Chains A and B, each alone.
Chain A
Amino acid sequence: MTKYGVGQPVRRVEDRRLITGQGRYTDDITFDGQAFVAVVRSPHAHATIEGIDAGAAEKAPGVLGVFTAKDLDADLPCEIDLASRDGTPRADPPHPVLCRDRARYVGDPVAFVVAETAAEAKDAAELVEVAYEALPAVADTALALEPGQPQIHPEAPGNLAFDWHHGDDAAIEAAFAEAAHVTTVELVNNRVVCNAMEPRAAVAEPRGDDGVTLHVCSQGVWGFQPVLAGHLGLPEDEVRVMTHDVGGGFGMKAMYYAEYSMCGFAAKRFNRPVGWTSERGEAFLSDSMGRDHVTTASLALDADHRILGLKVETVAAMGAYYYRFAPFIPTGAALKVLPGVYAIPAMTYDVRGCFTNTVPVDAYRGAGRPESIYCIERLIDAAARDLGLDPAELRRINFVRPEEMPYKSAAGETYDTGEFARVMDACMDKAGYAGIAERRGESLARGRRRGIGMCYYIESTMGDPSEHAGVRFADDGVELLVGTQSNGQGHETAYTQVLNARLGVPFEKIRVVQGDTKRIRTGGGTGGSRSLTAQGVAIHGVSDKVIEKGRAFAAQHFEAAPADIRFEDGAFTVAGTDRTIDILTLAAKARTMTAPAPELEGGLDADATIQLDAWTFPNGCHIAEVEIDPDTGVTEIVAYNIVDDFGVVLNPLLVEGQVHGGVVQGIGQALFEHTVYDDAGQLVSGTLMDYALPRAWDMPNFDFSTIEVPCKNNMMGVKGCGEAGSVGSPAAVINAVLDALWDDGVRRVDMPATPLYLWRLIREAERRAA
């Protein structure tokens, strides 16, 4: 048991399958007689559609049909209720599956072709003639709400999606009035393109009973089922949604996309399987994107450098439409950690959501929390500079202290645990924080600029607070039914560890089943770093039931009293005797035994749905050290240190993998990933030849360690770790870059800090100095 127990670096059980080509991704599924969808997308960022002539396309070889909004007239849902500060509900423009009379971003689906082969579908898609009347467009978040801009939705005058407010204006005014010092920063949280390794894909399969099965890459199947059912006019239980292996989701695959309904619609129309797989170029034009905030943030401090108030105003781009959660990401989700790890008595947070003629924006790894931590951690660094303090010391002065836990933050969240100073000290120690001056000098002697930057992040993880788990015994082992969805994180390994530890079923006899609305009653999917917390507790819950049932069956089997049955190391034993039966043998017998009581029907199989009532607050310290070549503007990350508090760590190997990936994603946002729309709303960085993803080559070795402060909000003591890396890294890197260039006179650095951008900042500073 210890081999796979809590804290063991168990190797990923799924890896052999995945790296030997045995994985089953959605595009691996092709049925006999399958037809293919190709989407006709708007080449204009903003245009009215005057007419669509599909005549030539319909006659092209292999074409089964061409469809527009006239055929499939449906909308994609946004699940978020949100009120503006004056109490009015958010603007609610429809997000049509296919444009009705207007296209609102380059890539907006206008029509689709169904043909015998993917190549024929694409050939025919080029023959669909759409008469567009181009309209002026606005793609720039900073401009969208300005007067005189092109209007994107009649339902959203001035392009305003909502004007949301949190906090007490009077309190914040008082805080700033009595402040001894005020620091203000302006920030851009740059828009990023998700670029999952596996492009999106779907295959819809008609079922004999008139229903449809949709195979689709997702982060959870249950949210898709009602949408597709609604679009097809079917009862929910006639739509089965299945997700198999997924190659990266990052929030982007939690969205329900138009193409899924196109496949479903065509499968029903032609009564044959119909599939669609995105190409990389199409992904740039159709996958929901991330971030895209323009923010002004101010911090009020007293004469002892204690924070009195935090005031943040953000404009957050929604893109052309909302996806499922868009309005929640910059508001409710971001709010949770906006005060960071600091004791902040007063806070206001104002967010104006805006529509732009761009691909819609929604959750992206961290979903609001990276944006907030970037804001507070850039701001605290700026305040320290203004005050002539070491940024670490200003943090220390304002940390919420362990003895103040549980602590209700200015955002209304109650942090259960956290030892921020201890974690920061450990990280500073590792990073050689005190020795930076010397290293700075060495770099300078070589004509380089060295800087160090810190970010102390806190996360608030859980997503859906309820989760389901089921256990099904079979002749060859146990199936564990889960409501989460691995996108590559290693769920099979982690869940197998938990079930193995609880039921003692051999590791290799446990099979995790996910992503099937038919076999699994319900589930919360994966997102918000919730999987181990929510699913782990659900597995404990179902294990309790299995053991409870097992006791009753064992009692009947041994003709003993249930109270005398002990369960240990995977076997039921009559206390004080050597009469024992292992759980798999008992489960097999139980299938043919008469149940001891009606509620014990079904042998040892069981289901459990749990409800967590509080979030987890993982937190940690990232310290980046960079060296910049002022001749070229190139930044090299020369050292990167991380100390995380993820509570109890189930599998350090999986956790470290999650952190590495997250940190790289955050570094990608900080230094590389530049989403560029031109004034006409064309995506200039629309291929990987122009959109720079970080490579292993660009990365230093990460020094990662944990300090375990067990979470008090769940029985396992775990805290979510999936997004943390991407939350902590952007501010650490940009704080380091600014630190490196400070003496050259550079005073503002935004993301992405590309070589060209930094080179220009250095030149401008030189010119100012001259």
Chain B
Amino acid sequence: MYAFDYAKPASLDEAARLLADDPEAKALAGGQTYIPTLKQRLAQPTRLVDLAGIPDLATIKEEGDGLAVGAMTTHKAVAASPVVQRAFPELAYLASLIGDPAVRAMGTIGGSVANNDPAADYPVVVLTLDATVRTTKGEHRGSDFFPGMFETALEPDELIREFHIPVPEAAAWEKFRNPASRYALVSVLLVRTKDGEIRCGVGGAGPTCFRATAIEDALRSSFAPEALDGVTIDAGDLNEDIHATAAYRAHLIPVLAKRCVRRMLRR
């Protein structure tokens, strides 16, 4: 880790101002991505602006047809929240599968979405449910928040305040873990929205999360696992690494989607 200055502002606006004043400064949430990056000397910020001292950023509330989740809410808090467990149990389940207990105790939903790791889990939720991302500069739609790998619609000095996540009628989350990191090698979030729309979000497989329209189309005509027989995903755009070829990832997407369908039918 290189040396840096450290600030712990008391409000999100002050934090945003510190970032605006110094383009080399960087926000710190749970540190589960950024601290390892620093330890490996892959980043050299002038200053860390720690968001941990800002009150009221870690709240979970029901709001309208969805959940309002503060940016600093930890994965552990989402997994354990009675509100989430009642309104959107699959979201609690998703949070409970992130990393390990230490990661869940520290890592935050805001950090996860702002970082947009291709293998991260929350971006799939934000995209698939078209959640609203409320920031220090306004609002973004989840459906166009993730332009590319490790990229978001955020300005460098823009901070996420909270998310509004519409609660679906039904949902199933399947995560195929990378055997080493336990991030998603491929993940699938299948939902039926309150107005009956079927949506299938995919994480881990491409440069950023995306909707699998072929799967959505097939399930719209028949919501059954067999409807996905013969559905293929183009491997062309998918990631390759030592744990998975693009072809393997393409293959896993319908496999996981079928599991989602089965689970949704069983409930």
A434 contacts partner chain B, Cβ-Cβ < 8 Å: no
Contact present for A756 and B248 (CB under 8 Å): yes
Q: Interface residues of A: mostly helix, strand, loop or mixed?
A: loop
Contact present for B3 and A676 (CB under 8 Å): no
- Interface positions of B from 1 to 54, Cβ below 8 Å from A: 1-3, 39-41
Which of B144-152, B204-212, B238-246 lies at the interface with chain A?
B238-246
Interface code A676-703, partner B: CB below 8 Å = 1, 0 otherwise? 1000000011001111110000000000
Contact present for A632 and B242 (CB under 8 Å): no
B221 contacts partner chain A, Cβ-Cβ < 8 Å: no
Query: Hey, which chain A residues are within 8 Å of B252, CB to CB?
Result: 632
A119 contacts partner chain B, Cβ-Cβ < 8 Å: yes
Known contacts A674-B242, A754-B243; is-contact A690 B255 (Cβ 8 Å): no
Size bin of chain A's contact surface: 20 to 34
Query: Hey, which chain B residues are within 8 Å of A236, CB to CB?
Result: none
Contact present for A690 and B245 (CB under 8 Å): no
Known contacts A281-B40, A632-B176; is-contact A756 B245 (Cβ 8 Å): yes
Query: Hey, which chain B residues are within 8 Å of A689, CB to CB?
Result: 178, 180-181, 183
Q: How far is the CA of A758 from the CA of B118 in the complex (A)?
A: 25
Of the residues B176, B181, B251, contact of A690 by C-beta under 8 Å: B181
Residue of A nearest to B242 (CB): A676
The smallest C-beta distance from B204 to any residue of chain A, in angstroms, reads 13
Query: Hey, which chain A residues are within 8 Å of B176, CB to CB?
Result: 632
A755 contacts partner chain B, Cβ-Cβ < 8 Å: yes
Contact present for A119 and B1 (CB under 8 Å): yes
The smallest C-beta distance from A413 to any residue of chain B, in angstroms, reads 37
Query: Hey, which chain A residues are within 8 Å of B41, CB to CB?
Result: 122, 126
How many residues from B make CB contacts under 8 Å with A?
A: 21
B64 contacts partner chain A, Cβ-Cβ < 8 Å: no
Contact present for B255 and A631 (CB under 8 Å): yes
- Interface positions of A from 560 to 588, Cβ below 8 Å from B: none
Interface code B249-261, partner A: CB below 8 Å = 1, 0 otherwise? 0011001000000
- Interface positions of A from 275 to 315, Cβ below 8 Å from B: 279, 281
| Interface hub of B1, B40, B181, B245 (most chain A Cβ within 10 A) | B181
Contact present for B179 and A672 (CB under 8 Å): yes
The smallest C-beta distance from B184 to any residue of chain A, in angstroms, reads 13
Contact present for B180 and A756 (CB under 8 Å): no
A558 contacts partner chain B, Cβ-Cβ < 8 Å: no
Of the residues B2, B39, B183, B244, contact of A756 by C-beta under 8 Å: B244
The smallest C-beta distance from A38 to any residue of chain B, in angstroms, reads 12
Query: Hey, which chain B residues are within 8 Å of A688, CB to CB?
Result: 180-181
| Interface hub of B41, B180, B181 (most chain A Cβ within 10 A) | B180
Query: Hey, which chain B residues are within 8 Å of A691, CB to CB?
Result: 180
Interface code B191-228, partner A: CB below 8 Å = 1, 0 otherwise? 00000000000000000000000000000000000000
Contact present for A759 and B248 (CB under 8 Å): yes
Residue of B nearest to A633 (CB): B248
The smallest C-beta distance from A635 to any residue of chain B, in angstroms, reads 10
Query: Hey, which chain B residues are within 8 Å of A693, CB to CB?
Result: 180
Known contacts A123-B2, A689-B180, A689-B181; is-contact A756 B243 (Cβ 8 Å): yes
Residue of B nearest to A671 (CB): B179
Query: Hey, which chain A residues are within 8 Å of B243, CB to CB?
Result: 690, 754, 756
The smallest C-beta distance from B63 to any residue of chain A, in angstroms, reads 35
The smallest C-beta distance from B7 to any residue of chain A, in angstroms, reads 20
Q: How far is the CA of A123 from the CA of B1 in the complex (A)?
A: 9
Residue of B nearest to A685 (CB): B242
Interface code B145-173, partner A: CB below 8 Å = 1, 0 otherwise? 00000000000000000000000000000
Residue of A nearest to B243 (CB): A756
The smallest C-beta distance from B215 to any residue of chain A, in angstroms, reads 16
Q: Interface residues of B: mostly helix, strand, loop or mixed?
A: loop
Q: How far is the CA of A760 from the CA of B2 in the complex (A)?
A: 43
The smallest C-beta distance from A692 to any residue of chain B, in angstroms, reads 4
Residue of B nearest to A754 (CB): B179
Query: Hey, which chain A residues are within 8 Å of B183, CB to CB?
Result: 689
The smallest C-beta distance from A664 to any residue of chain B, in angstroms, reads 14
Residue of B nearest to A123 (CB): B2
Query: Hey, which chain A residues are within 8 Å of B1, CB to CB?
Result: 119
| Interface hub of B3, B181, B242 (most chain A Cβ within 10 A) | B242
The smallest C-beta distance from B117 to any residue of chain A, in angstroms, reads 11
Of the residues A119, A631, A760, contact of B3 by C-beta under 8 Å: A119
- Interface positions of A from 74 to 125, Cβ below 8 Å from B: 119, 122-123
The smallest C-beta distance from B255 to any residue of chain A, in angstroms, reads 5
The smallest C-beta distance from B158 to any residue of chain A, in angstroms, reads 28
Known contacts A632-B255, A754-B243; is-contact A692 B179 (Cβ 8 Å): yes
Interface code A351-368, partner B: CB below 8 Å = 1, 0 otherwise? 000000000000000000
Q: How far is the CA of A468 from the CA of B194 in the complex (A)?
A: 76
Contact present for B251 and A759 (CB under 8 Å): yes
Query: Hey, which chain B residues are within 8 Å of A684, CB to CB?
Result: 242
Contact present for A692 and B2 (CB under 8 Å): no
Of the residues A279, A692, A760, contact of B180 by C-beta under 8 Å: A692
The smallest C-beta distance from A679 to any residue of chain B, in angstroms, reads 14
Q: How far is the CA of A279 from the CA of B36 in the complex (A)?
A: 12
The smallest C-beta distance from B118 to any residue of chain A, in angstroms, reads 13
Query: Hey, which chain A residues are within 8 Å of B255, CB to CB?
Result: 631-632
The smallest C-beta distance from A741 to any residue of chain B, in angstroms, reads 17
Interface code A738-770, partner B: CB below 8 Å = 1, 0 otherwise? 000000000000000011100110000000000
Residue of B nearest to A697 (CB): B182
| Interface hub of A122, A685, A692 (most chain B Cβ within 10 A) | A692
The smallest C-beta distance from B16 to any residue of chain A, in angstroms, reads 30
The smallest C-beta distance from A456 to any residue of chain B, in angstroms, reads 29
| Interface hub of A281, A674, A755, A759 (most chain B Cβ within 10 A) | A755
Query: Hey, which chain A residues are within 8 Å of B179, CB to CB?
Result: 672, 692, 754-755
Q: How far is the CA of A105 from the CA of B39 in the complex (A)?
A: 23
Query: Hey, which chain B residues are within 8 Å of A754, CB to CB?
Result: 179, 243
Q: How far is the CA of A367 from the CA of B183 in the complex (A)?
A: 33
Q: How far is the CA of A684 from the CA of B252 in the complex (A)?
A: 24
Residue of A nearest to B40 (CB): A281
Q: How far is the CA of A21 from the CA of B245 in the complex (A)?
A: 43
Interface code A626-650, partner B: CB below 8 Å = 1, 0 otherwise? 0000011000000000000000000
The smallest C-beta distance from B2 to any residue of chain A, in angstroms, reads 7
Query: Hey, which chain B residues are within 8 Å of A631, CB to CB?
Result: 255
Known contacts A632-B176, A632-B255; is-contact A690 B242 (Cβ 8 Å): yes
Query: Hey, which chain B residues are within 8 Å of A760, CB to CB?
Result: 248
Interface code A246-274, partner B: CB below 8 Å = 1, 0 otherwise? 00000000000000000000000000000
Query: Hey, which chain B residues are within 8 Å of A685, CB to CB?
Result: 180, 242
Q: How far is the CA of A755 from the CA of B255 in the complex (A)?
A: 14
The smallest C-beta distance from A40 to any residue of chain B, in angstroms, reads 14
Query: Hey, which chain B residues are within 8 Å of A119, CB to CB?
Result: 1, 3
Q: How far is the CA of A492 from the CA of B72 in the complex (A)?
A: 46
8 A-B pairs besides A126-B41, A688-B180, A690-B181 with CB distance below 8 A are A632-B255, A672-B179, A674-B242, A684-B242, A685-B180, A688-B181, A693-B180, A759-B251
Binding site for A on B (CB under 8 A): 1-3, 39-41, 176, 178-181, 183, 241-245, 248, 251-252, 255
Supply 9 A–B pairs (Cβ within 8 Å), ascending by A: A631-B255, A632-B176, A688-B180, A689-B181, A690-B180, A690-B243, A754-B179, A756-B244, A759-B248
The 10 closest A-B pairs by CB, nearest first: A692-B180, A692-B179, A689-B181, A631-B255, A676-B242, A690-B180, A756-B248, A756-B244, A684-B242, A691-B180
